[in-house]
């Protein structure tokens, strides 16, 4: 549920972390340390606080100490580079000898001086011929006709070619080693393919800042602009997206950062607190209101409104089942006398869950049906009346007037707008229009389980200043959930699935 929103929040944290790490690298204010890197959602799990190992923290250092450390590291790197070069040279010379050379060396012991010189010259020529390629071999054939002086010049030239090639090769090897070390160092942070453990932690990739960094507006400006655009693309209302971004900015700017994990933690709680203010609209639950009306000896009358196809009738069946299992006795009023098949549909649901339905003929006065259902509940001592109404577009004036008449006659305690969570901003706009026309008291969002964007769930209550009361989370009669802001936060800021979350809460 709400996977798209969760990814947007997580990316915001990652981008801010990358921004600060890059800046610290340029300032030479960064050092990797041992430890576990926390994922964004690991902070959202209900578990005991993990005490971080303070021994991993870098001590505060003066600028002079930092300079000395840098000089020492540079000296060490230079010595290591020289040792590598010497080692490469020794390996090269050892490879240039073979068994035949060793055997010839043994035979040379019995030769006189003149012969020994000839053998030495012969060995030199063979050595140089092995270090040449085909083109060098062709040049050697041309050199046979040269006199002694010219031959010496050619030999010296070939020597210089050989040493330059060896030097170039060693330089290239050193450059490659440095590039590989640099890539390996960067990969510790930038690689997002680390295997995380079950508690959302990954080994390695922890960075400390030698000098504490402070999050400023320049660090978050571009990142929060991107977040705002992504929220709008996710069907979050404009005013809600702006409010979230402003709250996150206020919570982040000025925070002191010592470790890379701090960035993730601060961003997580800044986003969580911002969203908490948006989705927590105060209001009484329907169950509380039923108890209050029951104490007064009257039923709670609830009228449902919305456009066609949002799931009003099915939601009424779910609520009847929900409160029947809680020990209350509901009654349903079939006041949608306009749509063909509407009375049969609501009757089907009433029969399935086992509750009484009050209905008239198709085309009859819907207000009269609602009135009869209320009177039946009062006479029979039933605690809850659920009034179904015809779906209508907010722009249909005649049907909107009929809806107002039902409200005048039945005098409902609650008018609930039923919206489809998958329609996003459309659901929010519809709720605004119905609220202006009839003054709704709350919202039920259907198909919330299939809503990956989460725009309507995040926006609708804040925009109309009315609480979300229930969420439809499936197709069965039991698939309805009383809305709870804390549960909603856990859905948005935890990667634990709903069953695991319920087990943790229990």
Rounded to the nearest angstrom, the gap between the alpha carbon of residue 342 and the centroid of all alpha carbons in its chain is 43
The answer to whether 194 and 204 have CB atoms below 8 angstroms apart is yes
Residue 420 DSSP one-character state? E
User: How many angstroms separate the CA atoms of 71 and 127, rounded?
Assistant: 42
Across the chain, which has 506 residues, the per-10-residue mean pLDDT values are: 76 84 78 64 51 41 47 51 56 50 48 53 57 48 48 53 52 52 45 44 58 85 91 89 93 85 86 90 90 94 92 94 96 91 93 95 92 95 94 72 90 94 88 90 91 82 92 92 88 63 44
CATH hierarchy code of domain 1-33+207-279:
1.20.120.140
State the greatest distance between any 2 C-alpha atoms of the chain, in Å, as a whole number: 135
Residue 74: predicted pLDDT = 47
CB 293 within 8 A of CB 300: yes
Q: Which residues of 8-33 are buried (b: 16+ CB within 10 A; e: fewer)?
A: bbbebbbbbbebbbeebeeeebbeeb
Q: What is the domain partition of the chain in residue ranges? A: 1-33+207-279, 286-505
Question: Which of 299, 271, 294, 454 is CA-nearest to residue 387?
Answer: 299
What 8-state DSSP symbol labels residue 40? G
Which CATH class name applies to 286-505? alpha beta
Give me the pLDDT at residue 60, please: 42
pTM over 0.75: no
């Amino acid at each position: 549920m709400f996977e798209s929103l969760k990814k947007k929040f997580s990316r915001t944290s990652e981008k801010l972390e990358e921004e600060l790490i890059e800046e610290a690298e340029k300032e030479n204010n960064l050092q990797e340390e041992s430890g576990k890197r926390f994922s964004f959602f690991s902070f959202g799990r209900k578990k005991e606080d993990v005490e971080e190992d303070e021994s991993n923290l870098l001590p505060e250092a003066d600028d002079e100490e930092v300079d000395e450390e840098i000089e020492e590291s540079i000296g060490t790197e230079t010595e290591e580079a020289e040792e590598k070069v010497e080692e490469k040279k020794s390996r090269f010379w050892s490879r240039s000898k073979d068994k035949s050379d060793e055997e010839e060396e043994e035979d040379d012991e019995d030769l006189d001086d003149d012969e020994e010189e000839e053998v030495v010259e012969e060995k030199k020529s063979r050595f140089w011929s092995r270090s040449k390629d085909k083109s060098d071999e062709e040049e050697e054939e041309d050199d046979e006709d040269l006199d002694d002086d010219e031959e010496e010049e050619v030999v010296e030239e070939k020597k210089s070619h050989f040493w330059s090639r060896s030097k170039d090769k060693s330089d290239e090897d050193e450059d490659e080693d440095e590039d590989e070390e640099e890539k390996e160092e960067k990969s510790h942070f930038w690689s997002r393919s680390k295997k995380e453990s079950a508690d959302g932690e990954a080994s390695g990739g922890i960075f400390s800042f030698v000098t504490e960094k402070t999050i400023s507006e320049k660090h978050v400006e571009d990142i929060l602009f991107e977040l705002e655009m992504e929220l709008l693309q996710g069907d979050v209302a404009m005013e809600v997206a702006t409010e979230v971004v402003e709250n996150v900015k206020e919570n982040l700017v000025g925070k002191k950062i010592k470790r890379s994990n701090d960035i993730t933690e601060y961003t997580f709680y800044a986003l969580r607190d911002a969203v908490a203010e948006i989705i927590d609209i105060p209001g009484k639950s329907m169950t509380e209101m039923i108890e209050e009306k029951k104490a007064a000896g009257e039923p709670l009358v609830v009228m449902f409104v919305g456009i066609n196809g949002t799931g009003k009738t099915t939601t009424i069946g779910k609520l009847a089942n929900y409160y029947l299992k809680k020990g209350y006795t509901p009654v349903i009023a079939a006041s949608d006398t306009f749509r063909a098949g509407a009375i049969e549909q609501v009757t089907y649901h009433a029969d399935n869950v086992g509750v009484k339905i009050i209905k008239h003929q198709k085309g009859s006065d819907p207000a009269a049906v609602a009135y009869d259902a209320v009177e039946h509940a009062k006479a029979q001592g039933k605690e809850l009346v659920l009034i179904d109404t015809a779906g209508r577009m907010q722009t249909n004036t005649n049907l909107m007037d009929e809806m107002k008449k039902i409200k005048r006659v039945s005098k409902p305690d609650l008018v609930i707008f039923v919206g489809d969570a998958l329609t996003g901003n459309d659901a929010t706009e519809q709720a605004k229009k119905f609220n202006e026309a009839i003054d709704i008291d709350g919202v039920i969002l259907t198909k919330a389980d299939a809503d990956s964007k989460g725009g309507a769930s995040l926006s609708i209550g804040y925009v109309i200043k009315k609480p979300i009361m229930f969420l439809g989370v499936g197709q069965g009669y039991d698939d309805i959930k009383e809305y709870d802001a804390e549960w909603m936060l856990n859905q948005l800021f935890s990667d634990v699935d709903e069953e695991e979350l319920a087990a943790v809460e229990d």
